[in-house]
Structure 1
Amino acid sequence: MSERTNGRRGALPPGVSHSSDLQKRFREFNYLSEEGLSTAVFLALKLGRPLFLEGDAGVGKTEVAKVISGMLDTPLIRLQCYEGIDVYQAVYEWDYARQLLHIRAAEAFGREDGEKVERDLYSREYLISRPLLQSLEYRGEYPPVLLIDEVDRADDEFEAFLLEILSDFSVTIPELGTVKAERPPIVIITSNRTREVHDALKRRCLYFWIEHPEFEREVEIVRAKVPGASEELSRQAAAVVQELRSMDLYKPPGIAETLDWTEALVALGAKRLDERLVEATLGSVVKYREDQQRVKAPGIEKLLARVDAGGWGFIEAGS
């Protein structure tokens, strides 16, 4: 049996035999990953292990799943977690409206075989597959990417349920029996660490913490994602965001906010930053009122002065 079809192993993109190959493939999808992240993803794909990604909001955790889906040309199935999520939102539920119509149709046509009507009600035709079941049922050359997003928003009971799913990649539907994946999905779990996720779930996974990018890497990301931005504007925007992260903000901006802000600046025709432009567009990068007040309190000109004195080098690079 080949590695690519051997149970839980070998869901690697064509031409990828090492983590450095994967890092290059990530670049093709405009995702500039560090070596540690590309190694973690490589091992998760090669060993068939779930990958648990943690980090502040906006550092690119969800994007990793999207890139893997694109590299393998396989579906991305996303389960967005939230407080109170349960099996019916995550795995399956019955289509009660259609079942009711079926009952009424049976009554209208005078069907007397009530037992058969009941069996029909709980056939596959009336089952609505939610993300977890969709990922188990998928049949294709490569398994799908199952993104369990922001698992820290779910409760302890749902975590325990996920442990069961990740143990053997099967689920039992009482009326239909057990559904087991032919090939387990590629599982990416993300957390913004709004609460601690139980150790039992993390032990099932490989783990990687995604940091905010350093200055030069952030500039490179901006160049790749917002090609319309000038060199000077890209460096200035990245430098200001680096400075904002050093402040005591409730929600420091992530790379997603850097990109949002740069796109907004380009849309306004900006070539470089000044005090007026930063103040007018601050809502694109600092998205909490209290944080905006904290940034504005000492004055935007002082923020730019700190950036200018911070050794980021954007003036020299842009001159």
Structure 2
Amino acid sequence: MPIDTPISHHVSTHDAAADDRNDSILIYVDGQIVPRDDAKVSVYDSGFMLGDGIWEGLRLYDGVLSFLDAHLDRLFEAALFIDLDIGMTRAELVEAIWATLHANAMHTDVHLRVMITRGRKRKPFQHPHLSIFGSTVVIIAEHSRPDDSVITRGIRLHTVPHHRGLPLTQDAKLNSHSKLNCIIALNHALRAGADEALMLDPFGFVNTTNACNFFIVRDGAVWTSTGDYCMNGITRQKVIDLCRTNEIAVFERNFSLLEAYGADEAFLTGTFGAQTPVFEIDGREIGNSTAGPVFHRIRRLYKDLIAAQIEAAGS
């Protein structure tokens, strides 16, 4: 089966057009750029053994890494929080990212995953002091153009009992390798016949999905969660900022499923797909199963923002 071949009928916010070039990409592993089949880490690695690591997803558009500084800020803040020494400065990490892209002759429509773990352990236990060999850094860059048919097909959400919790358990703002809570939530939604899981916050308010930030539109105004219990998404913040600078009413607030079910529009945001419309929540149709005017306006504004960033980089 080709690597990019879908394995189910479900729609995903990460659906991409198949690209055979990804079968032979070169991957960065701890200073070496190696063929995909040779890109390996130890079974003693903290990321494999314990999910002890952090990551970022990046997009390359026409030679520009979109919102790179914001992504690096989030990555290094996460490293500080979990006491992880990345072992590279920001400049060195950026150099490694560009080296990976250049080795693959990549220029646009590329998705990158930058992964950093606490590294190889001396023994198979969780104590961080057993990671004595330094961090593991892996950079995967793939030719990846989002499948725009998702705009007409839409995403179906199912509300799950698993929530994105309080910071005193595992802070939802931490982009960690430990994604099991979200995977369990997604499996629950898939078994219900949906595409992604809608997750509530600890108090029962609508929060986020297992993979993306969630927005609704009511009477022309855009609503999203308070942001207290969800990933501090880069695209989420850009959408909020675009609304504020383009006279689109936007609110970060608590709202319930009752208000989500009655929304005129709903959509998701994330680095890969940018904005993706939601057509169904728990079997309730949203917006007559079509992407609405507010969604399309925000999507155009976001594309213009990317275009302006590319133009500024070339000037």
Q: TM-score range by the shorter chain?
A: under 0.3
> Normalized per residue, which structure has more strand?
2
TM-score, normalised via structure 1 length = 0.23
Q: Highest CA radius of gyration, 1 or 2?
A: 1
> Normalized per residue, which structure has more helix?
1
TM-score, normalised via structure 2 length = 0.24
